[in-house]
Structures are given as structure tokens and as C-alpha cells.
Chains A and B, each alone.
Chain A
């Protein structure tokens, strides 16, 4: 197990290194990164001075190592807009996004697990068709539109929830449903096909033949085995959630990391954009690392690979 954890750790570190390379390269895609890093009001002389001070005249590899060194030490430069270190600006927004993502994940699991199981055991019934239809729809509806429709219905017409912002539990419900919808749809589809596959296996027939109750066969024997695949899905879905948060937070004026990145792009505050991208990608790598370790605990065969 230790060897497995070690191997995954080394892999994760390589991916993190890769992420810094990608961010660095994308920043240079524009041709002149200095233009992105200075406030729009900066004069030509200022730009030249910053270019010199920040070392943009140095060879690319030197610039990259400086960037990497800063990233490792948590130094992403200073935000022009907030006049604070970029990392601090981002970290201040992390709790809001975490709250949103966790509630969204819970909502999507609460919907997807029963839906997936019912859909599998009631295969080809009207109920199954309905669940499959909604699962497909959930993957087709753009989240920003779904969010706006929810606001129209529940906040504007029924006055049940606030239209946006972060103020107590009522305010997290709509954004979390919006964010969780896509994950719920994906998890339902995967769980359904896994359950159908498992229900056809011999050990399920044996369990049935032993005279176990239907509930016990489904939950203890079939679902327990489908659980490990859901776990990997959850890891992948967190990526979708972190990415989706960018849009959902904008729609609901949720003061999280996602909204911050969109605002910072509008404000031309590139230090913050850079810090946010690196931090979100790091979070994602970390979540996947944890999921892989958990997966190794549940399923010892994985460790051998």
C-alpha cells in the first residue's frame, strides 16, 4: 500500500509541475504577457519598467523557474485591483466555493443514487425511461440557463429563496442544485449501467437463490460493488463542479473562487486569474489523489497496476 501511495504521490507532483508549465505557456500565448499583468491604465514607460523589474526580458526558462519558485512559495504577485497578495485574495473566496461544491455534491448523490438503482432494477419500465430522459436532459441543459430559470421560478415568482448572493442556507440551495445537476445526471447514468451489469452476475443469482430478501440482494450485494465505481466518478465530478462553479457562481453572484476569476478577467487583474487557475487545478489533483488512495483501499487489485 505504501508503495502505491508513493507512486501516486510522485505522479501527482509531476502533474502539478505540468500544470505550472501549461499556465506559463498559456500566459505567453498572448505574445506579450506584460500587457496582461499591468493595469490597463499603465503608460508605455511603466510597462517597460515592469518588464525590466519582473524580468520579462530574461530567457523563457529563467522566467519559468522564477514563476515556479513563486508558485511553490505561494507567491503569485500582487493583485492590482484589490491591492493585496493574489493568493490571499483567492484564499478568502475558498470557503464559499467549498460550501457550494460540497452541498452540490450531496444533492447530486441524494438524487443520483436512488435514481440509478431504481432505473437499473426497474429496467425498461416507464419509471426507468423517465429517469433516463431526465439524466440525458441534465447533461444537455446549460447550467447558466438552468440557474436563471430556477431564479425566475423560485426567487422571482414564488419568493422562496434569494435571487443571489451568500446569505444563510436558503441562498445556497438554488446554486447547489444548478451545480449538482450535471453531476447527478452523469452519476445516474453510470450507476444504472453498472448496476445492470452487476445484477446479471452469478453471485447475485446465488444470493437470490439463498433466499435473501430483494432489498438485501440489491443493497448489500449489488450496490456495495457498484460503490467503488461511483467513488471514481465522484473524483471526476469534482472537476466538473470546480469548473462549473465558474459559471454558476457568476449567475448567482456567489462570492466564491469561480466568480472571482470571471471578475478578475474583466478587471484585467491577471495575477489573481493565474493564482486561481493554479489553485483550482491543484485542488483537483489533490482530490483525485485522495480518491485514488481510497480506491486502492477498497479495491486491492488497483494497487498492483
Chain B
């Protein structure tokens, strides 16, 4: 598997980008030159060191409250990754369970779950996220919950389809004849067979969740204001954008890089595990 990743140039690039972002998040407290929350009002609104109006102490400058932009960018990776991972997992658990039940038992329960999925797909994704965020208010847990509520459908549909085809195969029939319970059939004999599909969907969903969190934070509805996030930094940079354009550039580059990394890795995974998968 690793060999295949190294041979796929784009997949490798995606993996390297993600390793870099994960590195930032894990070592944020070690590599940040300053405290991201500390306000240095005397040195507020500084440009990066390669432009006029900078201070060598702050490599990428400071924001309107005199907080170090570089440190805030580094800490921002934590929120992005936290929400991306937990959102993907929550959505995955909900989606996989509903998809399994739907595909395995069929009948009325299947009809209900799939109708809910249809209805949800008839909502523009970001609109639903925004609406739930507006009702629940901001908060890290809420953003994860929103990701879960908005992204389970793709898992459920795919898993249901896979379960439908696998449960007809003879070996499942054999397990049932041997007296295996439904739970055992689903968890021990069906799920491991569709694990790769689930991983592929999870990676591609993660890209959407990163963008969703950034969008919500940009609109001021995501994570609480005190926590540095890339989306929030971008929104704050707009006030002084004419004089300090660089402050708007960095967070966007990092968001784009992260999404690009996840997408490249996801595309490679799809090719590796399941080239015929249509997501």
C-alpha cells in the first residue's frame, strides 16, 4: 500500500500536505513563536517581514489586537483537524449504522431512512449547516454535531448499497445457517468487507467538513470567537484588508492546502481500493 502511495505522485503530495498540517497541530505549543492569545497593543497591525511596516519580532505580522498572526495560523490547524476528524467520525458512525440497518433489514425501515436521506440531499448542504448553527449557537461541539447531521447521508447510501449486494452472497447465507446472529453477520462478516469503501468516503467527506467549518467560522457561526480558526481570521482580516492584504492571504492558503491534501489522498485511495466506486 505504501509503495503504491509513493508511486502515485499526487497521492504522495496529498499525504505530505496532511502530514505537514498534522505536524503543525501536534506541535503548535512548541513551534509557535508567540502566545496566540497574547495581545501586544503597541505592536498591533503589522505587516509580514518582507513588506514595509513590519517588526522583526513578528514574522507574519500582527492582527488588529496585536496578536501574532503566525502563531494563530499554527494554532488554527488544531480546530480544523479536530472538527474534520471528529465530524467525519460522527457522520461515519451515524451513516454506517443507518446504512447497515437499511440495507440488511430492508422493508419499511429502509424506506424511511432512504426518504430522510433524499430529503436531506434536497437541501443545499451549507444552508442546512448554517440553519442548524443558527439554532444551536456557536461551539466546538456544535460544529462537530452539524458535520455529523449534514454528512451522514453519503455513508448511509453507499453502505446500504454494499450491504444489499453482500448479504446475498453465499458465505453470509452459510453464517446464517450456522446460527450466526444478525449483529454478528453485520459486524463480523459484512462491515470488514466494506471498510475500504467507508474509508474512501470518509476521506472525501472530510474535505467538505473542512470547508464547512471554515465557512461557518467565516460567517461567525462556528467555533467560539476566542479560539483561533482560519475562517475566523479571514473574516477579521477583511476590516483592514486594503492596508493589510497579506493577513487575508495566509488563512485561505492553509484552508486550500488542507482541502487539497485531503482530496488528493482521497482520490488516490479511491483508485487504490475501489476504482469503480462512484462518489
Interface residues of A (CB under 8 A from B): 14-15, 18-19, 21-23, 26-27, 29-30, 36, 136-137, 139-142, 144-146, 148-149, 151-152, 156, 239-240, 242-244, 246-247, 250, 261-262, 265-266, 270, 273, 277, 280-281, 284-285, 288
Contacts and interface: CB of A to CB of B under 8 A. Distances in A.
A262 B219 contact: yes
A282 B58 CA distance: 50
Q: Is the interface of B mostly helix, strand, loop or mixed?
A: helix
Contact of A19 (B122, B132, B214, B260): B122
A139 B210 CA distance: 12
Interface stretch (B36-44, B97-105, B174-182, B237-245): B237-245
B215 A145 contact: no
B232 to A, nearest CB: 11
Given A142-B256, A152-B241, A262-B219, A22 B125 contact: no
B256 A140 contact: yes
B19 to A, nearest CB: 17
B134 A273 contact: yes
Interface stretch (B24-32, B163-171, B246-254): B246-254
Contacts of A145: 234, 248, 251-252, 255-256
A140 B234 contact: no
A15 B131 contact: no
Contact of B122 (A148, A149, A262, A281): A281
Given A148-B252, A149-B249, A265-B221, A22 B124 contact: no
Contacts of B252: 141-142, 145-146, 148-149
Contacts of B71: none
A270 B215 CA distance: 20
Q: Is the interface of A mostly helix, strand, loop or mixed?
A: helix
Interface in B124-160: 124-128, 130-132, 134-137
A137 B255 CA distance: 12
A136 B207 CA distance: 12
Contacts of B132: 26, 29
A289 to B, nearest CB: 10
B263 A139 contact: yes
A15 B118 CA distance: 7
A19 B119 contact: yes
Given A140-B263, A145-B256, A273-B134, A22 B249 contact: no
B13 to A, nearest CB: 11
A18 B115 contact: yes
Contacts of A262: 130, 219
Sort chain B's interface into a size bin: 35 or more
A299 B254 CA distance: 44
B120 interface: yes
A248 to B, nearest CB: 11
Contacts of A146: 252
Contact of B218 (A18, A247, A277, A284): A247
Contact of A277 (B127, B211, B231, B234): B127
Contacts of B215: 142, 144, 247
Contacts of A136: 260, 263-264
A183 B194 CA distance: 30
Contact of A156 (B127, B128, B130, B241): B241
A245 B252 CA distance: 19
A151 B241 CA distance: 10
15 contacts: A22-B123, A22-B128, A29-B132, A30-B137, A139-B259, A142-B252, A144-B214, A144-B215, A144-B231, A144-B234, A145-B255, A146-B252, A156-B245, A270-B134, A280-B124
Given A140-B263, A142-B255, A148 B238 contact: yes
A207 B122 CA distance: 40
B65 interface: no
B260 A137 contact: yes
B109 interface: no
